Amino acid sequence: MAGKGTILLVEARFYDTIADDLVLGAQAVLEGAGFATERLPVTGVFEIPAAIRLATASNAGYAGYLALGCVIRGETDHYDHICREASRALMDISTDGVALGFGVLTCEDRGQAEERADPGRRDKGAEAAEACLRMIELRQRFTPG
């Protein structure tokens, strides 16, 4: 375990290669900042908020959480429902004082997703990790004790 604690990476595995790229970018940032990481796979983006709620309720002592995954638009409105509900649930978690980085890609096609997940290009996994680190700092600043 790194000196500052552990960040739980909750990763939707529906698009495995995209999830792996998001994790690579996130791990580089978090480990560079002195945090260990633990990976928790879930089936899809819809399951991420429930997994994070279960982890927070367990009092496992994670320093923060990353929500990592991808939703790609299809031919039905399923995309809209998943994006809206997962985002809403993750916002609810974050406003409860949980240090959370949002790394869920919502893309029109696989090409967009691959570009955004690529650690050598847009690197949204790294951006989510940076957001999580900032929220950890803010929680420490505003939490008494």
Q: Catalytic residue positions? A: 78
Query: Is-contact 33 133, C-beta < 8 A?
Result: yes
CA atoms lying within 13 Å on the CB side of residue 105: 32
Give the list of residues 6+ apart from residue 109 with CB closer than 8 angstroms, or none.
Answer: 72, 73
Sole residue written with tokens 């919502």: 106
Encode burial over 37-71: b for 16+ CB neighbours within 10 A, e otherwise.
beebebeebbbbbebbeebbeeeeebbbbbbbbbb
